Amino acid sequence: MTPTAGSGPDRVVLSVDAMGGDKGAAAVVAGMAKAADKNRGVAFILHGPASELRPLIDRAGLSDRTEIRDAPGIVAMTDKPSQVLRKGKDTSMWSCVEAVRAGEASVAVSCGNTGALMAISTIRLRRIEGVNRPAIACLWPSRNAGGFNVMLDVGADIRADQDDLLQYALMGASYAKAGLGLDRPRVGLLNVGTEEHKGRAELKVAHDLIARIAPRANFDFVGFVEGGDIPSDRVDVIVTDGFTGNVALKTGEGTATLIRDLLGQAFRYSSLSRLAAVLALTSLRRLQKRIDPRQVNGGVFLGLSGTVVKSHGSADATGISAAIKLAFRLAESGFNDRVAARVAAANAMRAEDGSDNRIGGAA
């Protein structure tokens, strides 16, 4: 009989979708094992075909802290979200989110189809009161002391009006507090220039809204930032719409891979360059780890009444381990309750200011 995931004192239970990733259930279980080795306080509810998962869990030595939920259906990367909502109740992804909705787990983690995961999460978990559009936040390698910045939205919704951007600023600041341990995050609004007269009309209105809310919401607003500021130490949170954020994210991942490949080619060019590579091996490994997208794998769905971490579909054990560690950190911090409280407080602030619209209201 499989032990319950919650057995043992003071354990944080995470709900993990074993299926849907490019590398299959074996990579997911290997990532769970890597994360579990570093933190004895984590337990799992694992969703997928039980006959396939049980041998993997036994071999990984995770039987004492993993409950397997049999879910034979799999959401493919090519499935449309509308299809999954109609016919996907038997899938591992649906079961994974449902465990968070039922209060059995603190955070859901999945490598699967992003659109389907967002659709299921939005329908089953519901939006936080006052939130119009959820967002996906990611960690971005930066020059800051902690090594990362937060950027959102990176693909939940291609649209964002001024109220949505204000929501993103509030939720991003909360994420920076919980995920990066920052007491007073610096928030910037992504634009084509830093001058206040530049950009679309909704960006200019959002600039003024965020500037008014920031002092009372305990974050610093640095104003407009440009693309070059995304990895800088000027800002901790970068706010943008999902279309722009997703393009920037994919460009950044591709550039990191290109740099890694070009360095490899350069150091294999001649006998002398290969010798230089040996001499610089420690520094090269440090650089590789610094720009490795797997180390910051895990986009967080913000604005829902439960926490969901979306791992990259092609993640290996290292990437999945990073996503699980992020989920564990957010669960320990009570992150989702903090986001809800921040949005509610901002709504109250705007009401006091005599604004016609609450956050998430019609523009």
How does pLDDT run across 304-323, given as a tens digit for each residue?
989 999 988 888 898 899 89
Second-level CATH architecture of 1-125: 3-Layer(aba) Sandwich (3.40)
The reported pLDDT for the residue numbered 220 is 95
Check pLDDT > 60 for residue 296. Answer: no
The reported pLDDT for the residue numbered 290 is 57
Q: Where are the domains of the chain?
A: 1-125, 133-297+334-363
Mean pLDDT of 5-24: 80
Cis peptide before 58 (omega within 30 of 0): no
The reported pLDDT for the residue numbered 206 is 92
HSE value, Cβ hemisphere, 13 Å, CA-based, for 123:
16
Q: Which of 110-124, 215-229, 264-278 is least confident?
A: 264-278
Mean pLDDT of 105-116: 93
The reported pLDDT for the residue numbered 2 is 43
Confidence band for 358, pLDDT divided at 50, 70 and 90: very low
Check pLDDT > 50 for residue 3. Answer: no
Write down the mean pLDDT value for the chain: 85
Check pLDDT > 50 for residue 359. Answer: no
The reported pLDDT for the residue numbered 1 is 36
Q: What is the 3-state secondary structure (H, E, C) of the chain?
A: CCCCCCCCCCCEEEEEECCCCCCHHHHHHHHHHHHHHHCCCEEEEEEECHHHHHHHHHHHCCHHHEEEEECCECCCCCCCHHHHHHHCCCEHHHHHHHHHHCCCCCEEEECCCHHHHHHHHHHHHCECCCCCCCEEEEEEECCCCCCEEEEECCCCCCCCCHHHHHHHHHHHHHHHHHHHCCCCCEEEEECCCCCCCCCCHHHHHHHHHHHHHCCCCCCEEEEEECHHHCCCCCCCEEECCHHHHHHHHHHHHHHHHHHHHHHHHHHCCCHHHHHHHHHCHHHHHHHHHHHCHHHHCCEEEECECCEEEECCCCCCHHHHHHHHHHHHHHHHHCHHHHHHHHHHHHHHHHHHCCCCCCCCCCC
Confidence band for 295, pLDDT divided at 50, 70 and 90: low
Do domains 1-125 and 133-297+334-363 share one topology? The answer is yes
- For the chain, the residue count is 363
Confidence band for 25, pLDDT divided at 50, 70 and 90: very high
Confidence band for 12, pLDDT divided at 50, 70 and 90: very high
More confident residue, 279 or 114: 114
More confident residue, 141 or 170: 170
Please state, for a pLDDT cut of 70, what percent of the chain lies above it: 89
More confident residue, 6 or 141: 141
Q: Which of 65-79, 84-98, 151-165 is least confident?
A: 151-165
Confidence band for 178, pLDDT divided at 50, 70 and 90: confident
For the whole model, what pTM was predicted?
A: 0.79
How does pLDDT run across 56-76, given as a tens digit for each residue?
999 999 999 999 999 999 999
User: What angle do helix axes 317-333 and 162-180 make, rounded to 10 degrees?
Assistant: 100
Q: Which of 18-32, 141-155, 219-233, 339-353 is least confident?
A: 339-353
The reported pLDDT for the residue numbered 340 is 79
- Topology of 133-297+334-363 in CATH? Isopropylmalate Dehydrogenase (3.40.718)
The reported pLDDT for the residue numbered 19 is 93
How does pLDDT run across 124-157, given as a tens digit for each residue?
999 888 788 889 998 888 888 878 899 998 988 8
CB 53 within 8 A of CB 95: no
The reported pLDDT for the residue numbered 291 is 54
